[in-house]
Amino acid sequence: MIRLEDLSVAIDGRPVLQGVSLDLPPGRVTGLVGESGSGKSMTALAITGLLPDRARASGRVLLDSRNLLETPEAAMCRIRGSRIGMIFQEPMTALNPLMTIGDQVAEVLRLHRGLDRRTALAQARERLDRVGLPQPRFPLTLYPHELSGGQRQRVAIAMAIALRPGLLIADEPTTALDVTTQARILDLLSGLARDEGMALLLITHDLAVVAGMTDHVAVMQSGRVVEHGPTEAVFRQRRHPYTRQLFAASRHVPARIPPGPATPLVQVTDAVREYRLPGGGLRALDGVNLTIARGESVGLVGESGCGKSTLARAILGLDTLQGGHIRLDGQDIAAVRPMPRKARARMQVVFQDPFGSFDPRWRVDRLLAEPFHLTGRPPDWRDRVATTLTEVGLDPDDARKFIHQFSGGQRQRLAIARALIIRPALIVLDEAVSALDVRVRAQVLDLLARLQAVHGLSYLFISHDLSVVRGVTDRILVMQAGRIVEEGTPDQIIDAPRHDSTKALVAAMPKIPAGWL
Amino acid sequence: MLRYLSSRILSLGLSLLVASALVFSVVELVPGDPASFMLGTGAQPETVEALRRQMGLDQPLPLRYAAWLGAILQGDLGTSFTYKTPIAGMILERLQVSLPLALMALALAVAIALPVGTFAAARRGKAGDGLVMGAAHVGIALPNFWLAMLLVLVFAVRLRWLPAGGFPGWSAPAAALRSLILPAIALALPQAAILARVLRSALVETMGQDYVRTARAKGLSAGQALRRHALRNALIPVLTILGMQFSFLLAGAIIIENVFYLPGLGRMIFQAITQRDLIVVQSAVLVLVAAVIAVTFLVDLAYGAVDPRLRRP
């Protein structure tokens, strides 16, 4: 049993956690929800004693009546991994790339139990079987780069539960995974909590995940727990205004004007793209047909690896097709290599990662003006930068700032501004709101809807998550193994899916039970 | 692994071939022709003509290259114009000094840099880090000949522990080793300083990685996480520097060889250049280039050993 009593943490004198109290009894799944910076991860780090060097903690973190905040580091090392297990958000980088998965799981057993390598590996085998990585498909000698994201997260879970800890902390464990993988990992976690009688602390910003997974929930805002209790009661009653805001934002649908008569802007016909791999060819695009009309929002949904991004790259002229045509305003642009600048200037893109898609050494004005190399930089470009900044809800004075001075949501606004500045006809949004908190996401979706109404833009929304594209698209295409397998309005797709792949995507969508709303 | 190995070996062979062609053609670039260049401006035309024939310069270029390469493959590097002795023997003799010296210096540099770089990274931002890295800064800035003279003054002149210079030959192994100690230290210290800095920054970067956090969550102490997880990942950039340093130590020891009167490869090349002995220069450069390529090959193999992502496609 772990109990937090009046836990407070300050970094350089600035409070990041204030008076957090929480019970984590065995067998209970507790959700910790809130936005970035609300203190969710800091709570997890305080429990495990892995706070940054400059952090000062007060209050109590009790494990069997022993205060972990006052436990010396050597004793904490014996507790971490054996009594408290932890998994993190990013499975792609959470494992040591130079060590086999067997050795990484065995390391926990060797460290805490003092087992020899052979015995530890035999037990590691058992744990990997438990998390759904059985022999002979997943031998112990595999390296992390030979596994997918979901499989790597399973290895991380195997390490965390190897010694059957009393508490498992999962910090955004599925945020980086696609919905179907997310559903399987969440399933595994709740099964483990039930079977092993572990307490599970699930940290997430996704209310629907909390609704489906947890018994208890604590809502955090600016370092405080503003509301907590049994999940159903908290969700039904929503006593605190912040809880109500989170709910409203997660279900927010921007006001949109349906597009007028359909004039096709982009037409993709019979697109084929094949990659040569050591084990044979891979057809990433296998006869894809797609039309995007002027002013229309089209959603493109499917699991990772289904060909969504390849299709987007082909449309943007970043990749060559081996067959088929892409027409922009009736002109075949796939036939001409490289794609003419005039055509490229008609299409822009916004990517998922608002941190990685900007050069940190450039100022905002230079970043935003970059697409002008396609059209020639107009003499009034500084005014254009200022206008565009205002349009996306930022200040014209932000033009002289650097990218690190902005939050994630602001950076995504800047990415939209960069796409918008040369007045394209189509903007491809490749998981563009997936990394954002619910309230920021709602604001960005509103912004996109407003810009569409003003400029008559077309959008291609690419996502692995149907719930993201539901409220913001006119039409959804479901893609699987390089083909479009189903097409329809959002309501048709979600309420009456026909293809198996669509059904799987809909089933995997985390949902808040209708009765709770 | 086999695929990785065979691709590395193929690239090794190709590099050697290209390098040999380059080294051969560079000599063709000297003004006039090699023979008149070697003999200087005051030479008799008959002497020049004789040397031309001796060097085979009356033959067409591709034929000469083929003959040169064929001879080299049989271990014949030609004959020195100045000393009239086979160059292969000369180089072999010099390598007996230069190779052990380079290896000693490199081993010493690694032995110093590994603990120092790790120490600094583990105490990043603290006083120990600042002190050690400050010292490393000085170590990089110090010219090694100055360091060499200092070492001679302290350990040879004042304390009389080690010889001040000269090389007795390997017939007296203990004395030979003793005479290489001071030069090896003088060569190693600046290299160790560079290596320690590279290791420190690589370690600091890997310690910020998610898998080190995972290791801490498993219950490893900060030190264990550093040694077991961060260190091996940080070795990859260190290996690159190490390969470059070995190549430098093999031929770049020329100043140190002069300070300590060591009959090494660097001094031989220097003398051959001043004596315009082009054949010696050509052969010695080829040997050095081959050594650099071989070391690069070994570094590539080491990458493969360290990083499984390179072994399997």
| Whether residue A169 sits in one domain with residue A92 | yes
- Name which of A94-108, A248-262, A373-387, B203-217 the model is least confident about: A248-262
Question: Is the same domain home to A207 and A286?
Answer: no
Share of chain A above pLDDT 70, in %: 99
- Domain span including residue A342: 264-346+426-509
pLDDT, tens digit, 9 for 90 and up, residues A453-507: 988 899 999 988 888 888 889 999 999 988 999 999 999 999 999 999 999 999 8
Q: How far is B303 from chain A (nearest CA, A)?
A: 11
Whether pLDDT at B312 is above 70: no
- Position A189 pLDDT exceeds 70: yes
Give residue B30's pLDDT: 67
Residues 6 or more apart whose Cβ sits within 8 Å of residue A223: A9, A15, A16, A17, A18, A20, A38, A39, A42
Q: Residue B137 and residue B59: Cα distance in Å, rounded?
A: 54
Backbone CA torsion sign across A12, A18, A24, A30: negative
Asked if the structure places residue A58 within a domain, the reply is no
What would the mean pLDDT of A149-154 be, rounded to a whole number? 90
Question: Do residues B278 and B30 make contact, with C-beta atoms less than 8 angstroms apart?
Answer: yes
| Number of domains, chain A | 3
pLDDT digits (tens, 9 = 90+) for B116-135: 999 998 888 888 888 888 88
- Looking at the structure, do residues A286 and A241 belong to the same domain, yes or no? no
Closest partner residue to B218 (CB to CB) among A90, A97, A111 is A111
Q: Is residue A229 part of a domain?
A: yes
pLDDT of B251 strictly over 90:
no
Q: Are A306 and A164 within one domain? A: no
Is A239 in the same domain as A143?
Answer: yes
The pLDDT mean for chain B works out to 85
Report which of B188, B200, B263 is spatially closest to residue B230, judged by C-alpha positions.
Answer: B200
How confident is the model over B232-253, as a mean pLDDT? 84
Residue A163: closest C-alpha in chain B: B218
Percent of the residues in chain B that have a pLDDT greater than 70, as a whole number: 97
Instruction: Check the CA dihedral A361-A313-A264-A492 and report its sign.
Output: negative
The B residues from 210 to 249 touching A (CB cutoff 8 Å) are: 210-211, 213-221, 224, 228-229, 232-233
Q: Does B306 touch chain A (CB under 8 A)?
A: yes
B2 at the A interface (CB within 8 A)?
no
pLDDT of residue B47: 80
In the predicted structure, residue A187 carries a pLDDT above the cut 60: yes
Q: Which pLDDT score, from 0 to 100, does residue A499 have?
A: 93
Residues A40-50 have a mean pLDDT of 92
Element (H, E) at A204: strand A199-204
Confidence tier at B143 by pLDDT (50, 70, 90): confident
Question: Could you read off the pLDDT of A235-244 as tens digits, one per residue?
Answer: 999 999 999 9
How close A73 comes to chain B (CA, Å)?
Answer: 8
User: Going by C-beta distance under 8 Å and a sequence separation of 6 or more, which residues neighbour residue A168?
Assistant: A84, A85, A86, A87, A160, A161, A189, A192, A193, A198, A199, A200, A201
Q: What confidence tier does A231 reach under pLDDT thresholds 50, 70, 90?
A: very high
| Cα torsion through B194, B195, B199, B201, rounded to 10 | 10
Which residue, A185, A217, A250, sits at the end of a domain? A250
For the question of an ipTM over 0.85, the answer is: no
B141 band by pLDDT with thresholds 50, 70 and 90:
confident
Work out the average pLDDT over B239-254: 82
Q: What is the mean pLDDT of residues B168-173?
A: 83
Mean pLDDT of chain A: 89
Query: Are A292 and A388 found together in one domain?
Result: no
* List of domains in chain B: 34-76 (no CATH), 87-311 (1.10.3720.10)
The DSSP secondary structure of chain B, one letter per residue, reads -HHHHHHHHHHHHHHHHHHHHHHHHHHHTSSS-HHHHHH-TT--HHHHHHHHHHHTTTS-HHHHHHHHHHHHHTT---B-TTT-SBHHHHHHHHHHHHHHHHHHHHHHHHHHHHHHHHHHHHTTTSHHHHHHHHHHHHHHHS-HHHHHHHHIIIIIIIS--S-SS----TTSHHHHHHHHHHHHHHHHHHHHHHHHHHHHHHHHHHHTSHHHHHHHHTT--HHHHIIIIIHHHHHHHHHHHHHHHHHHHHHTTHHHHHHTT---HHHHHHHHHHTT-HHHHHHHHHHHHHHHHHHHHHHHHHHHHH-HHHH--
Specify the pLDDT at position A385. Answer: 93
Structure confidence at residue B274 (pLDDT):
84
Tell me the chain A residues in contact with residue B7 when contact means C-beta distances shorter than 8 Å.
none
- Whether residue A23 lies inside any domain: the answer is no
Axis-axis angle for helices B61-73, B2-28 (nearest 10): 130
Residue A216 and residue A138 share a domain = yes
Residues A246 and A395 in one domain: no
In a domain, A22, yes or no: no
Find the chain A residues whose C-beta atoms sit closer than 8 A to any C-beta of B: 48, 50, 73-74, 77-82, 85-88, 90, 93-100, 107-108, 111-112, 143, 145-146, 156, 159-160, 278
CATH number, domain at A173? 3.40.50.300
Query: What confidence tier does A140 reach under pLDDT thresholds 50, 70, 90?
Result: very high
Listed as own residue / partner, the contacts of B297-305 with beta carbons closer than 8 Å and 24 or more positions apart are B297/B8, B297/B9, B297/B11, B297/B12, B298/B243, B299/B239, B299/B240, B299/B242, B299/B243, B300/B8, B301/B5, B301/B8, B302/B239, B303/B236, B303/B239, B304/B1, B304/B4, B304/B5, B304/B8
Q: Give B289's contacts (C-beta < 8 A, 6+ positions apart).
A: B19, B23
Residues A452 and A396 in one domain: no
A3-17: pLDDT as tens digits: 999 999 999 889 999
Q: Return the axis-axis angle of helices A438-455 and A241-250, rounded to nearest 10°.
A: 50
